């Protein structure tokens, strides 16, 4: 961190000599007034990105083209505002953005905002006019739903037609939902007033009108400064998707989310391409326990209980978060677009997250040879040394508890574990090996630093299975990779996320001298400064960890993970560390793989999961949707039928014979609330198909 800070301080001192801080404004050569704060900000960003990023970009015309395309994509992701003629006008700057970025000029940005604000007013007029007339859902008509396949309209008339289809599609979804609700009410025998198709369609348009009046009102209140961070991140994200600039207010929101995310629904949200997306689910939170909201989901609407949903597309992240947060015990209904393109309404009761549910917990799977199960939702740590808990110590304690109850093998569940403390990974791997390197961490310059387990004691030497999935990321991947490289255990599940980079936050105010106080606060820069490497020398970047035994998963065939991010850093290799593989293997992986494959082939549930995954892939690759009501309903009902089949099969899965550890029974005896939560955890584990297969794999090897 120090070299970066010293470089920026040196730059800041030089800048103060060149610019002088007495004035708040500077004059460009053509006489136009430029805001000095923004000029200083961009130059500090350029210096920071160029000097401290793991893989600095060359600021040239090629870089400029990338930034231009990324900004345009984010400014009008669904291509519903700009015309092709607007894009042609902006294209004059396509190879000049690198020069503007280096000089601190915002000519292109100001021009783009001027055009965008004009088109925003026109789009508002289109929506009002279109929503005055009823939609007919009788004729066969389709809409393209993948933004990357859309083109900018060549005329106002063509753009208006795109809006007509877009609004009709949204109305169609509402009409279909209303018909579905009426059908369910009829089946349940509830006495509700049945509406005609004309009334249902009118209701749908009325609600859309209200949503769009609110949407355009919010967008009209935004100023250029609200878009500036997105513009600057069009440069930062060319370096890699995790390098970002945070304006002062955005950093406050980020800090609040990070420290205060244990309240509300327990989901960390990000804004990308005009959509509010779920980036992480807090272990033990209402979202985590409810189970339907997943990373990658886009939240389109938010409703308070039974109230009318509010459309949050295009809304600022802080405003959207304020709608989703709420008092404990209240209901929030989220309309989300899943990664496969399907729509779902998810009801979550807000609550305060119970911290214990975010910590390591274990169970004993009964049998002639008992097996221990440890669930680890995150690699948590007390970084401030304030007497808090660390995942490495907690897992060590769970291992000892399982040993006392004669566990012959252990399943370590890292599914949906997004990572955390690297030191705790080192400590945890050390529980299962004698000693040796666990992970290599490399900065842009110099050799890799090897983090080692120096404790020669092996806490558990029996068979080990590590469960992973596509949401196992970062520290989870390092843990699984180390166990795999040492041949210490069997990795089971689906390929992991593939994030092998390390980020740091830098306060831009701290790297500038006091002479720049007049233009502060400037915000923060989150920079990718290092990469992780396995002890074998390979990075987990992009490729993740491929399990030794792969199990069918809903996301198996979907494009998912770091490799799907624009401008992700590449996969590469360095020299392997010196280490000795496990010298007393417990079983033959090839035999275990063959036995597992036979079980999977004979399992109707796994077969249906695989079929569902194939259908999701097909649906994702199909980029058009029908605007004919009968066709739309037929497709939705087919999907619902298949989903119900899978739910029914899951309900009928034979249960594992699990028991709570004696130590935990004593702790839970006096706490009825904690006991109830632990019972829920046990119930879920009993019918978890993937835990069951992990148990079968271990028993094959015992």
Residue 542 tokens, joined: 């992009």
CA distance 476 to 536: 17
Q: Is 538 a catalytic residue?
A: no
Residues in the chain: 702
Q: b or e along 585-617 (b: 16 or more beta carbons within 10 Å of the residue's beta carbon)?
A: ebbebeebbebbeeebeebebbebbbebbebbb
**Strand order across the beta sheet in which 409-413 lies:** 549-550, 490-493, 464-468, 409-413, 371-375, 361-365, 658-659
CB 592 within 8 A of CB 490: yes
**Kind plus residue range of the DSSP H or E element containing 272:** strand 267-272
CA distance 345 to 426: 41
CB 83 within 8 A of CB 162: no
Give all strands (DSSP E) within 591-667, no chain letters.
624-626, 658-659
CA distance 171 to 597: 46
Q: Which of 79, 80, 499, 538 is catalytic?
A: 499
Write down the residue that tokens 């949906």 correspond to. 416
CA distance 582 to 400: 21
CA distances (Å), origin 348, targets 574, 677, 681: 46, 17, 18
Reference 657, options 632, 683, 636, 686; nearest CA is 686
Residue 439 tokens, joined: 């992970």
Q: Which of 86, 424, 427, 485 is catalytic?
A: 485
CA distance 468 to 474: 12
Between strands 501-507 and 490-493, the pairing is: unpaired
CA distance 599 to 268: 37
Phi, psi of 493 (to 5 degrees): 135, -135
SS3 content of the chain, % helix, strand, coil (to 5): 45, 15, 35
Q: Is 643 a catalytic residue?
A: no
Reference 534, options 588, 564, 496; nearest CA is 496
Q: Which of 105, 474, 476, 603 is catalytic?
A: 474
Write down the residue that tokens 């905002």 correspond to. 113
CB 482 within 8 A of CB 430: no
Between strands 371-375 and 409-413, the pairing is: parallel
Query: Mind giving me the DSSP string for 428-489?
Result: HHTTTSSSEEEEEEEESSSPPEEEEE-----S--S-EEEEE-TT--THHHHHHHHHHHTT-S
Between strands 490-493 and 464-468, the pairing is: parallel
Q: Is 455 a catalytic residue?
A: no
Query: Mind giving me the DSSP string for 245-263?
Result: EE-HHHHHHHHHHHHHTTE
Catalytic sites, residue numbers: 474, 485, 499
């Amino acid at each position: 961190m120090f070299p970066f800070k010293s470089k920026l301080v040196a730059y800041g001192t030089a800048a103060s000599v060149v610019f002088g801080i007495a004035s708040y404004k500077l004059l460009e050569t053509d006489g136009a007034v430029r805001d000095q704060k923004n000029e200083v900000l961009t130059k500090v960003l350029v210096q920071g990105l160029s000097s401290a990023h793991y893989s600095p970009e060359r600021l040239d015309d090629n870089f400029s083209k990338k930034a231009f395309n990324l900004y345009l994509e984010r400014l009008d992701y669904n291509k519903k505002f700009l015309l092709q003629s607007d894009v042609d006008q902006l294209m004059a700057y396509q190879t000049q953005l690198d020069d503007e970025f280096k000089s601190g000029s915002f000519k292109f940005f100001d021009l783009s905002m001027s055009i965008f604000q004009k088109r925003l007013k026109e789009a508002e007029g289109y929506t009002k006019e279109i929503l005055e007339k009823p939609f007919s859902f009788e004729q066969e008509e389709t809409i393209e739903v993948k933004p990357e396949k859309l083109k900018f309209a060549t005329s106002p008339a063509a753009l208006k037609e795109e809006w007509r289809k877009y609004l009709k599609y949204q109305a169609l979804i509402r009409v279909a939902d209303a018909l579905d609700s009426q059908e369910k009410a009829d089946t349940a025998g509830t006495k509700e007033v049945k509406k005609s198709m004309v009334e249902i369609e009118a209701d749908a348009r009325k609600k859309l009108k209200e949503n769009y009046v609110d949407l355009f009102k919010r967008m009209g209140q935004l100023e250029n400064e609200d878009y500036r961070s997105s513009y600057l991140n069009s440069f930062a994200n060319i370096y890699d998707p995790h390098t970002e600039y945070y304006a002062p207010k955005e950093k406050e929101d980020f800090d609040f989310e990070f420290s205060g995310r244990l309240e509300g629904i327990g989901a960390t949200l990000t804004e990308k391409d005009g959509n509010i997306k779920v980036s992480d689910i807090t272990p033990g939170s209402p979202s985590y326990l409810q189970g339907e909201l997943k990373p990658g989901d886009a939240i389109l609407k938010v409703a308070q209980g039974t109230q009318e949903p509010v459309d949050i597309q295009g809304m600022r992240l802080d405003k959207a978060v304020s709608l989703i947060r709420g008092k404990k015990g209240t209901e929030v209904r989220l309309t989300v677009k899943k990664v496969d393109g399907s729509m779902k309404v998810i009801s979550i009761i807000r609550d305060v997250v119970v911290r214990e549910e975010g910590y390591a917990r274990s169970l004993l799977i009964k049998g002639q040879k008992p097996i221990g199960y440890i669930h680890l939702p995150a690699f948590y740590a007390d970084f401030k040394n304030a007497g808090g808990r660390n995942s490495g110590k907690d897992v060590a304690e769970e291992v000892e508890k399982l040993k006392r109850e004669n566990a012959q093998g252990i399943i370590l569940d890292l599914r949906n574990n997004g990572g955390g403390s690297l030191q705790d990974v080192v400590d945890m791997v050390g529980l299962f090996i004698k000693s040796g390197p666990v992970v290599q961490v490399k900065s842009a310059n110099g050799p890799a630093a090897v983090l080692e387990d120096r404790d020669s004691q092996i806490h558990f030497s029996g068979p080990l299975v590590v469960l992973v999935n596509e949401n196992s990321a970062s520290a989870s991947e390092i843990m699984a990779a180390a166990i795999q490289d040492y041949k210490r255990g069997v990795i089971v599940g689906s390929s992991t996320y593939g994030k092998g980079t390390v980020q740091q936050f830098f306060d831009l105010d701290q790297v500038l001298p006091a002479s720049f106080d007049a233009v502060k606060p400037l915000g923060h820069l989150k920079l990718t400064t290092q990469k992780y490497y396995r002890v074998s020398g390979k990075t987990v970047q992009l490729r993740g960890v491929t399990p030794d035994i792969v199990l069918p998963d809903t996301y198996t065939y979907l494009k998912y993970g770091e490799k799907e991010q624009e401008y992700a850093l590449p996969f590469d290799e360095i020299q392997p560390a010196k280490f000795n593989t496990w010298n007393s293997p417990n079983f033959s992986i090839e035999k275990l793989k063959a036995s597992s494959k036979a079980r999977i082939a004979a399992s109707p549930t796994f077969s249906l999961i695989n079929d569902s995954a194939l259908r999701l892939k097909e649906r994702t690759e199909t980029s058009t949707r029908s605007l004919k009501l009968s066709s739309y309903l037929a497709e939705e009902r087919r999907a619902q039928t298949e989903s119900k089949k899978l739910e029914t099969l899951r309900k009928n899965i034979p249960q594992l014979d699990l028991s709570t550890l004696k130590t935990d029974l004593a702790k839970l005896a006096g706490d009825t609330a904690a006991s109830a939560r632990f019972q829920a955890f046990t119930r879920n584990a009993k019918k978890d198909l993937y835990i069951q297969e992990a148990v079968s794999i271990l028993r094959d090897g015992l």
